[in-house]
Chain A
Amino acid sequence: MTTGLATASVRARPSAFAGVFAALVFSATVVTACVAIAVSAAQAPASAAQAALSEMGVAFTLLTVYLSVFVIGQVMSLAVAQRRRESALLRAVGAGPWQIRRMVAVEALCAALLALPVGYALGALLARVWFAGLAGAGSVPDGMALRTGLPPLFAAFGVLFVSSQLGGMIGAWRASRIRPSEALAGSQVQGGERPGRVRGFASLAFLAAAGALTVASTVSSARDAAAQIPLVLLAYLVAIGLAGPWIGRLATAVAAPLLRRFGGVAGELAVAGCRARARRLSAAITPIALVTAFALAKFVSLTGAGATDWMEVFGTLLYAGFAGLVAANTLVMLVLERLREFSLLRTVGAEKRQVVAVVVAEGAVTALAGVGAGVLAACAVMVPLGARTGTPVSGLPGWVWAATLCCGAALVWAASCAPLGRMLRVRPIEGVLRRT
């Protein structure tokens, strides 16, 4: 019965499932690649180069695991939230809260099992490219061979399983508590629920913890401080994720006068949309903040690096690419759920370019909030810790800041507009009448 429910729920909103699947594949890929390199380095005959590579492999592995847990948790709870109406319908016909939770758990497990082989294969391929790069740069220690084998598979499965179940649980807990009548009304704003007080307090708690971690790291050795940077950043990002609705509201308030003045009707619609859909805006902000913060922190650290270190460069590219893909994936998920709204606009007389203009204007708010939060998080970490590790923030040239901001905004716009081509080819009346 539960698997029946799970299949039906996947069918009802395939884009949400596809989004989760993609995030799981990305995570499995990077985890597999990092673990493969780390294990291969650890098994090579001991030498100074081997020790350095092995240590770096472990550091990258830990970071990708943290990032994956964070990202999968986010995407999974978004996917559950997007199916709020279907869950309400199930509740209305008599499904108990535990049945909803079990449905989500089964679905998460299936997605993880399907994503694992794909991610593992891609990860093994990526590890080869990485290893070839290292060999080309002459930084492979003597006697080291690339071994993919089982450890990466187990690691990837563990990460996928734990984080998808965890994210699903958080989302399902909320979904299973809604009153059946509440979400059935078609006039409800998707993602417009008010953020609760618990969320606010949790955000403040993480902010305080991140601050405390920063202080603790400034008094440790330069090496330890450098190793702590990703962890502290992640604590800030969890705080940002929790505070997302409020950050979104702030960014909307800042951007509103400009958008209303120069954005015409599209600007007005965008402001109204951002105001009403604080939770969805929050889901878009977090991954953008993540990729911005990690990229900036890494750039600052790299200002101190001497000769180009292949391991370092590749690892950075790996998780910047990962974070970017995940952010794009989330933005696509968020646009895909709005077919009905766009179609309604078009039946009332919006031209295609006007719909695109609305999405672009909303993207400006998302970019402002996401990139802004990311820059603040990066500064909060790197101003004190960069000084401690000998790479002060002031060492980063202005053009790098500008380029990062532009890339962040370009990512938001490109990903949000990517699905529009297909969505705007649907006849407006079909889009309005379509059930999902």
Chain B
Amino acid sequence: MDAVLELTHVTRTYRHGPHAVHALRDLDARLYAHSLTAVTGPSGSGKSTLLQCAAGLDRPTSGTVRLAGREISAMGERELTRLRRARIGFVFQSFNLLPTLTAQENVLLPLRLDGRRRDPVRARRMLARVGLDGRADARPGELSGGQQQRVAIARALITEPDVVFADEPTGALDQDTAAGVLELLREAVGEHGATVVVVTHDPAVAARADRVLRLADGRIAHDTVGVPA
């Protein structure tokens, strides 16, 4: 199997005045296509940094990151931006959507930013897939937290990206709503062949993952390949 995402000797150090904080220390990881990987670990273990480096939102201090065979750790800002909108999907814990746009417009945003024509049919189909048919014209303020996360997932999936990165996507949701959102990510992998990387504190998310990377102190402490329940 080919690795979609390959991190080699990735180190990320932040400077806080005279102190250096090692968020990632010489980390190696290979993630394969069509899988759901959960990244867990205590606060400050480097989970979010790992996700940001892997997604081209941050640059490692040293080491390389390759996404679908292209080295993104060497790309310039503009190239990374184009890569993000065409090849990567994002879901954050909150504030995922532009409050001034409707659900449908939010979903279409990456395509529109890429200069592609407006395709409402495609957006509606994607919204239906995440269980939001009929809410295409609602603004984020009119949707519940769970519904907003569903819109964010629809937006992340619409470009058929190489990898979808999610940072605590269920962190702000109640248990039932979180389960629904998790199910959606699972479905994206199982039925549509997506590759999803989720940073999470939530044991329920980890339990449904194909693979769990447990981080401690900027390194991978456990790498468990599991059979999702």
Contact = CB atoms under 8 A, between A and B. Distances in A.
Nearest to B159: A349
18 contacts: A187-B95, A188-B141, A189-B99, A265-B115, A269-B101, A272-B98, A277-B100, A344-B98, A348-B155, A349-B82, A349-B86, A349-B114, A350-B113, A351-B81, A351-B82, A352-B81, A429-B57, A429-B58
A187 B141 CA distance: 5
B57 A347 contact: yes
B81 A346 contact: yes
A185 interface: yes
A276 B139 contact: yes
A186 interface: yes
Contacts, number: 88
Contact of B90 (A273, A348, A351): A348
Interface string A165-178: 00000000000000
Given A188-B99, A273-B100, A347-B57, A268 B112 contact: yes
B112 A341 contact: no
A101 interface: no
A348 B85 contact: yes
B58 A427 contact: yes
B122 to A, nearest CB: 16
B85 to A, nearest CB: 2
B81 A186 contact: no
Given A265-B112, A350-B113, A429-B52, A345 B98 contact: yes
B64 interface: no
A428 to B, nearest CB: 6
Nearest to A350: B113
A427 B53 CA distance: 12
A272 B148 contact: no
A432 interface: yes
Interface string B83-115: 011100010101111111100010001101111
A268 B104 CA distance: 13
A186 B100 contact: no
A275 interface: yes
B55 to A, nearest CB: 9
Size bracket of the A interface = 20 to 34
Size bracket of the B interface = 20 to 34
B85 A349 contact: yes
Nearest to B90: A347
A354 interface: yes
B78 interface: yes
Contacts of B95: 186-187, 340, 344, 432
A272 B105 contact: yes
A245 to B, nearest CB: 15
A-B residue pairs, 6 tightest by C-beta = A349-B85, A187-B140, A276-B100, A265-B112, A429-B57, A189-B99
B143 interface: yes
Contacts of B90: 347-348
Contacts of B52: 429
B58 A187 contact: no
Contacts of B78: 351
Contacts of A277: 100
Interface centre among A186, A275, A352, A432 (most CB of B within 10 A): A186
Contacts of B109: 265, 345, 348
A277 to B, nearest CB: 7
Contacts of A433: 92
A335 to B, nearest CB: 15
B18 to A, nearest CB: 22
Contacts of B105: 268, 272
A196 to B, nearest CB: 19
Contact of A349 (B84, B94, B97): B84
A340 B109 CA distance: 16
A189 B85 contact: no
Given A186-B94, A349-B82, A429-B58, A276 B112 contact: no
Given A276-B99, A349-B86, A185 B57 contact: no
A317 B140 CA distance: 46
B27 to A, nearest CB: 18
Interface string A33-47: 000000000000000
Contact of B99 (A187, A350, A432): A187
Contacts of B77: 352
A185 B141 CA distance: 8
Contacts of B110: 348-349
A349 B98 contact: no
Contact of B81 (A190, A276, A349): A349
A344 B86 CA distance: 16
Contact of A348 (B84, B140, B141, B143): B84
A433 B95 CA distance: 8
A76 B100 CA distance: 25
Contacts of A345: 98, 109, 113
Given A265-B115, A277-B100, A347-B84, 20 more contacts: A186-B95, A187-B97, A187-B140, A187-B143, A187-B148, A189-B139, A268-B105, A269-B101, A272-B98, A273-B100, A275-B100, A276-B139, A348-B84, A349-B82, A349-B84, A349-B85, A351-B113, A352-B77, A429-B52, A433-B92
